[in-house]
């Protein structure tokens, strides 16, 4: 009798287990379950595609127009830019893969930074000072027509923070150090120097195009801006050439730029 009851109980448990497994299999193969699984997979693929669209544009081209100032520190002469342009080409390297709070990424920007500016002439020539200009000197009058120019070519590097608040919109802020080779062109001569510039700013980008604003400041000393051969000119009589063999210029200003992300 006990043997019969034990056999019947084992048989009943087997039937219940088989039925349970069958129900699970039927549920997993049901149209609703298949639909939910497909929807989740499509959603994951859509999220991945959106992520790539938002964060894949790491290469940047920035074309800007500048409003700058050039300050001759040693002789207290200041010049405003008449026309000035800037071009930055580089890449942002994000320091982590997944965005913080699903919207913030920290990165390092690195790339080429090139700028050119032509500065407004003074009423009495390129240098508005009796030390540098004599109206009666025709050669100096020709000098004023050439104008004062600056060209900087450098490598910009520094941290950046990018926020993606909604959709394809991104807001970025940055700070860069730009070690550069710099030229000041005056009187037909180019005077070169090493220059360190600091830039800072922000931009707003939708998808792959945006606008930004960037401030900058830097300084360098240029040798022989005053030509030693002209040291005997009456306009230079008060200058100790040996004391001013290098002239310090400071640049500052800001640029408004169009940003392209590739």
Taking only Cα atoms into account, the Rg of the chain, rounded to an integer number of angstroms, comes to 34
The whole-model pTM stands at 0.73
pLDDT of residue 58: 92
- The answer to whether 211 touches 171, Cβ cutoff 8 Å, is no
Average pLDDT, the chain: 80
pLDDT of residue 32: 59
Is the predicted pLDDT of residue 114 greater than 50, yes or no? yes
pLDDT, average across residues 97-116: 96
d(CA 105, CA 93): 10
Element containing residue 145 per DSSP (H, E): helix 138-146
| pLDDT above 90: percentage of residues in the chain | 50
State residue 76 phi and psi, 5-degree precision.
55, 45
d(CA 178, CA 221): 16
Residue 92 half-sphere exposure, CB side, CA atoms within 13 Å?
26
pLDDT, average across residues 10-37: 57
The more confidently predicted of residues 11 and 187 is 187
Least confident residue range of 67-71, 141-145, 156-160: 141-145
* Contacts of residue 253, Cβ cutoff 8 Å, sequence gap at least 6: 66, 67, 68, 69, 81, 84, 215, 216
pLDDT-derived band at 85 (thresholds 50, 70, 90) equals very high
Least confident residue range of 23-32, 127-136, 247-256: 127-136
Is the predicted pLDDT of residue 15 greater than 90, yes or no? no
Is the predicted pLDDT of residue 259 greater than 90, yes or no? yes
d(CA 114, CA 195): 13
Tens-place pLDDT, residues 124-151:
444 444 444 444 454 444 445 578 899 9
Residues comprising the chain, all counted: 262
d(CA 207, CA 41): 25
Chain-centre distance for alpha carbon 221: 26
What is the number of other CB atoms lying within 10 angstroms of the CB of residue 153?
15
Tens-place pLDDT, residues 171-184:
999 999 999 999 99
pLDDT of residue 92: 97
Is the predicted pLDDT of residue 84 greater than 70, yes or no? yes
pLDDT of residue 235: 44
Chain-centre distance for alpha carbon 88: 7
pLDDT, average across residues 44-61: 80
pLDDT, average across residues 74-82: 89
pLDDT of residue 50: 72
pLDDT of residue 5: 53
């Amino acid at each position: 009798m006990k043997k019969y009851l034990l056999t019947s109980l084992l048989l009943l448990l087997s039937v219940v287990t088989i039925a349970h497994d069958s129900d699970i299999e039927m549920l997993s193969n049901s149209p609703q379950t298949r639909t939910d699984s497909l929807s989740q997979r499509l959603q994951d693929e859509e999220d991945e595609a959106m992520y790539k669209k938002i964060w894949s544009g790491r290469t940047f081209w920035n074309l800007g127009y500048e409003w700058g100032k050039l300050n001759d520190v040693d002789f207290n002469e200041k010049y405003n830019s008449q026309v000035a342009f800037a071009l930055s080409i580089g890449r942002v390297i994000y320091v982590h893969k997944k965005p913080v709070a699903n919207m913030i990424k920290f990165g390092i920007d690195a790339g080429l930074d090139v700028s050119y500016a032509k500065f407004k002439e003074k009423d009495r020539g390129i240098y508005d000072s009796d030390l540098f200009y004599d109206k009666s000197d025709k050669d100096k009058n020709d000098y004023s027509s050439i104008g004062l120019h600056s060209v900087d070519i450098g490598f910009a590097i520094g941290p950046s923070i990018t926020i993606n608040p909604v959709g394809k919109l991104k807001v970025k802020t940055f700070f860069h150090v730009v070690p550069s080779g710099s030229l000041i062109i005056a009187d037909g001569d180019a005077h070169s120097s090493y220059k360190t510039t600091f830039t800072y700013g922000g931009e707003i980008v939708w998808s792959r195009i945006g606008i930004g604003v960037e401030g900058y400041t830097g300084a360098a000393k240029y040798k022989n801006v005053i030509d030693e051969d002209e040291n005997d000119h009456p306009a230079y009589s008060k200058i100790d050439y040996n004391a001013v063999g290098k002239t310090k210029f400071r640049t500052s200003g800001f640029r408004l730029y169009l940003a392209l992300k590739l």
